[in-house]
Structure 1
Amino acid sequence: MTAPAEKGTIPRLALAGIFGGLFCGYLGLTAAIPVLPGFVRDSFGATDVAVGMVVMATALTALLVRPVSGHLADRYGHRLVMRLGALIVAVGGALYFLPLGLTGLIAVRLLLGVGEASLFTAGAVWVVSLAPHHRRGQLIGLYGVSMWGGISVGTFLGATLLPLGYGAVWGFSVAAALIGLALISSAPVPPRTEQPSGGHALLVRPALLPGAALALAAAGYAGLAAFVVLHLQARGIDSGVVVLSCFSAVYAGTRLFIGHLPDRLGPRRVAAWSGVGEAAGLLIIALAPNLPVAVIGSLVMGAGFSLLHPSLALMVMNLTEASKQGAAIGAYTSFWDLGLSVWGPVIGAVATGFGYPAVFVAGAVCAVAAVAVALCVRRPDTQPAVVS
C-alpha cells in the first residue's frame, strides 16, 4: 500500500499519470465498440445474438475479475496491476489483427475484460491512497470523468477511423493502450509503508450495501441508454440523442465543479440526494411531452447520478481498512457490472409488457430503493471494517 498524501497536498504528477493512463486505456478499449458489430457481420455473417456476445463479453470477465484485481493491487502494488491492465488492453488490440474466427474473437473480448478490470480497479484505489482524506470523494469522481471521457472519445474516434479500414481501428487501440502504459509507468510511487494483513477473502463486507445501492441505481442508466430515443420517437419527438448528450455533459460537469460535495457534506447525505435526483429526472423523462422537458429530465438525472457512485465508493473506503481497500473497491464496482447485466434484459421485458414510459418509472423506483439501501450503511467508527 502506498503512503497516503500529507494533509492538504495532492501529488499532481502521480495523478496525471493515473488519470492519463486510464483515459488512454479506455480509448484503446472502446475504439472497437462502434465497429465490432459490422466487423462480426462482414467477417463471419453472424447473427445479432453473436454480435451481442462479442460486444458484451468484456462485462462478464470484468465482473468476475474486479475483486481479484483489487486484491492483487493491495498485495503487489497498484501501479503494477494497472500497468498489467494496460498491457492486456494493448495485447487484445493486437489480437484483433489475427484470423482467430468468431470463437477466438469472443476469447479476445473476454481477455480485454480482464484488462479493463485490472486497469480501472487498481487505479481507483491508487487514487484513494494518494488523495488527502478531505478530497478523496472528489478525486474518485474525477477518476470516473477520466474513464467516461476515454469511453466517449474512444467510441467517436473508432467510428471516425472506420473508413480507413478495420486495421486502422485495431492499430489505434494498440497505440492508445501503449501510451496509457507509458503514462502509468511515469507516475511516481511512494515507498510502501504497510503490507496487507488478515485473510484473502475477495468480498469485503463494507462493499455489500453500497454495491447493492449502485446496482439498483444502474437500472435508470440502463433504461436511459437503451430506450430514451425510442421512447421519444414513440411520442413523435426527434433528436432523442440530444437527451443522452446532455446527460453525459452534466454528468461530467457535476463532477468537475461540485465533485467535492461528498467530502464536504458527507457521502450518506449526498448519496441520498443523488438518488432522489436520479429518480426525479427519470420521472420527468417518462412524462416529457416534448424535447425541452426531456432534456431537463436528463440534466436533473445526470446531476444526481453523477455523484452517486463517488459517494457510495467513499462509504466503502471509510469502512474498509487500508490494506483491503483494493479488494473492497473491486467488489463494489463489480456490482455495477452485475446491475447492467441484470437490468438489460429486465428493462427490455418491462418495455415490451408495459411500454417505454414504464422503463423510466421502474428506474425511478430502483433509484429510490438505492437511497434506502445507502441509508442503511453504517457510519464509520474508530474500528476498521474486517473481511466477512
Structure 2
Amino acid sequence: MTASPETGTLPRLALTGVFGGLFCGYLGLSAAIPVLPDHVRDRFGAGDLSVGLVVTATALTALLTRPVFGGLADRHGYRQVMRFGALAIAVGGLLYFLPLGLAGLIVVRLLVGVGEAALFVAGAAWTVTLAPHNRRGQLIGLYGVAMWGGISAGTALGAALRHFGIGTVWALCAVAPLAGLALITIAGPEPQIARPTGGRGLMLKPAALPGLALALAAAGYVGLAAFIIRDLQVRGIGSGAVVLAVFSAVYAGTRLVIGKLPDQLGPRRVGTWSGLGEAAGLLIVAWSPNLPVAVLGVVVMGVGFSLLHPSLALMVMNNAESSKQGAALGAYTSFWDLGLFVWGPATGAIASGLGYPAVYLVGAGCAFTAAIMAYTIRQSATTE
C-alpha cells in the first residue's frame, strides 16, 4: 500500500518499520546514558570533564555526519542508510563490553553518534516520501514522538537494569538496535523517486534559515531541562521533576492531538505562533511564583516547542528539490545538534553569572527571534 496524495491514505507497514526501527535504535542508544557517568568515574577514576566528553561524544559525530548521510540516503536508498545506522548503534553496544580504556570508550561513543545520524536522517527522509502531501508535517511530528519515546524508554530501562549489572545494560544497547534493524528490513517498499543529480553540497540553502531558527529555539529547551529542578528548589517551590514530566507529556500530546496544524494552516503561520508560544511559556516560567504558574508556563512552552520543529522541517521540504529531501533534512537537523553544543555551556555561564531566571529570559528572546525568522521564510509555490 502506497501513500496517496489525493486520498491521504498511509502505507502503514512501511511507517511501522520506520517508526519502530527509530524507536528501537534510540532505545538502545539512550539506555547507556544513566550508567555512563558512574561507569566512567568508577572504572577509570575520571572526573566531570571526561564524563561530559563520553556522554556528549555522540552529538559531535551526529552534527558532522547528518548532512552526509542525508545525501547518501537520497542517492542509495533510505532503507540501506537507516539499516547501517541501526547496525552501527548495535555494534557500539557490543563494544561496550570490551576493556578498551577511556579513549576507546570515547571512540565507541563517536561510532554510536554516526549510527544515530544515519538512522535518524534516513528515516526522516523516508517518512517524508511515504507521507501524503497534506500530512507531511503531521508525520514529521509523529516521527519525532517515536524518537523521544525511544529516548524516554531507553533512559528508564537503563536506570532500572543497572541494578542487575552493567552488562545487562550493554546487552540492551546491542539487542534493541538489532530489533530495529529487523523492523527496518521488513518494512514495506520505498517509493520510487528520482535520485539527485548534480552537486553534492551538504549545506543546502533551503535548510539554512529554518535550521538557524531551530538552533535558537533549542536555547529554551536546554535551559529548562538543565536548570528547572534546581531553580524551583532554590525558589522554595520544588517539584521540578513534575514540571519536566508535564513538559514531556505536553510535547508528545500536542503532536498526537493537533499535529496536523502545520499541514492545515501552513508551516509559516504555525511556526511563527509556535516560536511565540515557546517564548511566552519561558517568560511565565521565569516569573512563576508557585507550582501552578510554573506548570502553566511549561504547558504553553511545550505546545509551541512541539510544533516548531515540524513546521520548520516542512518549510525545508517545501523549498527543497524532491530528489534532495534527505540532504536537506540532514543539514536542517544538524542545527539542532549545533544548538545543543552552543547552549549547553552558554546557559551554564548565564546561570552562574545572572541566575536561573536569566536563562529562561535568554531562551525566550531566542524563541522570539526564531518566530520572526519563521515568519520571514519564503515558501515555494511547489514542493519540487
Q: TM-score, normalised by structure 1?
A: 0.97
Residue 312 of structure 1 aligns to which amino acid in structure 2?
L
**Range with bigger deviation, 7-16 or 50-59:** 7-16
1:314 corresponds to 2:314? yes
Give the Cα separation in 2 of the matches to 1:9 and 1:360: 41
1:243 corresponds to 2:243? yes
Map 1:83-232; keep pairs closer than 5 Å.
Answer: 83-190=83-190, 192-232=192-232
1:44 corresponds to 2:44? yes
Q: Aligned to 1:189, what secondary structure does the other structure show?
A: coil
Over the aligned positions, Cα root-mean-square deviation in angstroms equals 1.1
Residue 270 of structure 1 aligns to which amino acid in structure 2?
V
Q: Aligned to 1:128, what secondary structure does the other structure show?
A: helix
Q: Aligned to 1:247, what secondary structure does the other structure show?
A: helix
Give the Cα separation in 2 of the matches to 1:92 and 1:190: 27
Q: Which runs of 4+ in 1 moved over 2 A?
A: 3-7, 190-193, 381-384
Instruction: Report the Cα offset of residue 159 of structure 1.
Output: 0.2
Give the Cα separation in 2 of the matches to 1:340 and 1:380: 30
Q: Deviations over 1:219-278 (max 9, x none)?
A: 000000011111111101222111110000000000001000000000000001101110
Contact 1:61 1:110 in 2 (8 A): yes
Residue 195 of structure 1 aligns to which amino acid in structure 2?
R
Contact 2:122 2:326 in 1 (8 A): yes
Aligned counterpart, 1:337:
337
Instruction: Report the Cα offset of residue 313 of structure 1.
Output: 0.1
Contact 1:5 1:129 in 2 (8 A): no
1:366 corresponds to 2:352? no
Map 1:317-328; keep pairs closer than 5 Å.
Answer: 317-328=317-328
Instruction: Report the Cα offset of residue 382 of structure 1.
Output: 4.3
Map 1:279-290; keep pairs closer than 5 Å.
Answer: 279-290=279-290
1:294 corresponds to 2:294? yes
Aligned counterpart, 2:252:
252
Give the Cα separation in 2 of the matches to 1:241 and 1:151: 17
Give the Cα separation in 2 of the matches to 1:148 and 1:191: 26
Give the Cα separation in 2 of the matches to 1:383 and 1:39: 48
- The 1:325/1:193 distance shift into structure 2, 3 A limit, reads closer
Give the Cα separation in 2 of the matches to 1:107 and 1:352: 32
- The 1:6/1:261 distance shift into structure 2, 3 A limit, reads closer
Give the Cα separation in 2 of the matches to 1:231 and 1:335: 27
- The 1:126/1:5 distance shift into structure 2, 3 A limit, reads farther
Aligned counterpart, 2:262:
262
Give the Cα separation in 1 of the matches to 2:194 and 2:212: 30
Structure 1 unaligned runs (5+)?
none
Contact 2:278 2:367 in 1 (8 A): yes
Give the Cα separation in 2 of the matches to 1:193 and 1:85: 22
Instruction: Report the Cα offset of residue 4 of structure 1.
Output: 6.2
Q: Deviations over 1:282-332 (max 9, x none)?
A: 011101111111111111100110000000000000000111111000000
- The percentage of counterpart residues that share the same residue type is 69
Give the Cα separation in 1 of the matches to 2:82 and 2:333: 16
Instruction: Report the Cα offset of residue 178 of structure 1.
Output: 0.5
- The 1:129/1:5 distance shift into structure 2, 3 A limit, reads farther
Instruction: Report the Cα offset of residue 193 of structure 1.
Output: 3.8
Q: Aligned to 2:38, what secondary structure does the other structure show?
A: helix
Contact 1:275 1:305 in 2 (8 A): yes
Contact 1:209 1:376 in 2 (8 A): no
Contact 2:54 2:109 in 1 (8 A): yes
Map 1:24-35; keep pairs closer than 5 Å.
Answer: 24-35=24-35
Q: TM-score, normalised by structure 2?
A: 0.98
Aligned counterpart, 1:348:
348
Q: Deviations over 1:38-84 (max 9, x none)?
A: 11111101000000000000000000000001000000000000000
Give the Cα separation in 2 of the matches to 1:4 and 1:65: 29
1:55 corresponds to 2:71? no
Give the Cα separation in 2 of the matches to 1:260 and 1:364: 25
Structure 2 unaligned runs (5+)?
none
- The 1:265/1:376 distance shift into structure 2, 3 A limit, reads same
Contact 2:66 2:118 in 1 (8 A): yes
Contact 2:61 2:114 in 1 (8 A): yes
Instruction: Report the Cα offset of residue 160 of structure 1.
Output: 0.2
Instruction: Report the Cα offset of residue 5 of structure 1.
Output: 4.3
Residue 289 of structure 2 aligns to which amino acid in structure 1?
P
In the comparison of the two structures, how many residue pairs are matched?
Answer: 382
Give the Cα separation in 1 of the matches to 2:379 and 2:207: 13
